Amino acid sequence: MGPGDLKKVLSVISTAIDPNLLTGIYDDAAVYRLKDDIAIIVTIDYFTPIVKEAYMYGQIAAANALSDVYAMGGRPVLALNVVCFPISVLGLTFLEEVLRGGADKLVEAGVTLAGGHSVIDPQEIKYGLSVVGVVNPNDMLTKGNLKKGDKIILTKALGTGIVNNALKGGLLDEETEKEVTESMALLNMKASRAAVEHGVRACTDVTGFGLAGHLMEMIEASPGMGARIYSDALPLFSRVEEFSKMGLIPPGTRRNRKFRGENVVFKDHVPDWKKWVLFDAQTSGGLLLSVGPEGSDDLLKRLLKDGHARASVIGEVIEDPNGHIEVV
C-alpha cells in the first residue's frame, strides 16, 4: 500500500493509551516495556516474490521481517511464519524451498522459529514473518532525535525496486541479479549492533517508502530539523542509472514520489533519473542512521569491517530548510 493511502487509513484508528507502549503505529515496530530494563519488540512483514529462486525469496523475506527489530536497536528472539500459498498453482516443493530459506536465515540470526500460520491464496504466494525481539528501553533506537550537524549514513545500496522491475522484464544480467539478491538477503544485525555501540541518535530501515519517504519520517519526528543529501554520495546498484533512464520505474516508486515529492527540493544539476532513486521502493534495504559528526568516521569504519561494503555517508542534518530534504 502506498504511503498516502496508508496515512489516510491509519488516521481513523483510535488505540488505547498505555504508558508502557513506547512506540507503535508510526515507528518501525511496536515496543512495549515489561520492566525498566526490558521491553519487547513486535513486528510483522510479508510480500510476494521479488526474485526467481524460491530459497532466496525465503532468505530475503526473513531478512526483511527481522530488519524492523534491528532498526529499533533490538535483538530478535522468536519468529512465526506467515504463508499465503496458491496450492493449485505452485507445487509444495516451491513452498518447501521458501520455508527452508527463511529458516536458514533465522538460524543465521540466532532466532527461534516457533510455528506460524498458513492460508490458501488463489493466485500468488506471499511469505514473511511475525517477529518478537527484546531491547533495553535505554538503548532503543527510534526515528526521531535528529540533531543539527549529524551525519546521515546509509548501510546498503539503493535501487532494488528499479532493478527488480528490470528482472520482471527479462532485462537483468546474472551478475547484477546476484549483487542485488545478496544485498537484500544481508541481515541488518551487525549494522544495528554497531549503531547502538557507536551512539547513533536516530535510526530506521529503508524499505517500501524509499529513501526520501523514510528520511522524511525521521524529519517529521524531529521538529525543526531537515536534511541535506549529497546526490553523488548515494550508493547505487549496478545498472540502476541505465534502467532508470529507460523508465523502468515501479508503481510503488511512482506513488512514493507523488506523496513525498513536495517535501524534496532538488538542485538543478541533479538529473531526473537520480531523482527517481530517492523515491525507489526498496526491499530489505539498509539502515538509515543519524550520528554525531565526531563519531561518524568510526561508525563507518565499523560498518565496512562488519561486511556492509556499500555503507556511505550520504548527507547531514540541517535546520534550514526544516521539514524538507535538500538534494545537492
Residue ranges per domain, the chain?
3-139, 151-327
What pLDDT is attached to residue 165? 95
Quick one: cell of 256? Answer: 512514493
Q: How many whole angstroms separate alpha carbon 112 and alpha carbon 66?
A: 12
Name the stretches of the chain with pLDDT < 70. 1, 3, 16, 26-27
**What's domain 3-139's architecture?**
2-Layer Sandwich (3.30)
Using the Cα atoms of residue 327, residue 225, residue 294 and residue 306 in order, give the sign of their dihedral.
negative
Q: How many whole angstroms separate alpha carbon 195 and alpha carbon 182?
A: 22
Strand partners for 317: 227
CA-nearest of 318, 321, 223, 212 to 259 is: 212
| Number of DSSP helices (H) and strands (E) in the chain, helices first | 11, 13
What pLDDT is attached to residue 11? 72
SS3 helix, strand, coil % of the chain, rounded to 5?
Answer: 40, 25, 35
Give the number of other CB atoms < 10 A from CB of residue 41.
Answer: 28
What pLDDT is attached to residue 28? 72
What pLDDT is attached to residue 17? 79
What pLDDT is attached to residue 7? 72
What pLDDT is attached to residue 29? 87
- Residue 124: partners with Cβ closer than 8 Å, 6 or more residues away: 48, 49, 84, 86, 89
- One-letter amino acid at 294 equals E
CATH of 151-327, one of 3.40.50.300, 3.40.50.2300, 3.90.650.10, 3.40.309.10: 3.90.650.10
What pLDDT is attached to residue 260? 96
What pLDDT is attached to residue 166? 96
CA-nearest of 110, 61, 51 to 83 is: 61
HSE-CB of 272 using CA atoms within 13 angstroms = 6
Q: Indicate the pTM of the whole model.
A: 0.94
- One-letter amino acid at 149 equals G
φ/ψ (deg, to 5) at 149: 95, -15
Quick one: cell of 212? Answer: 526520501
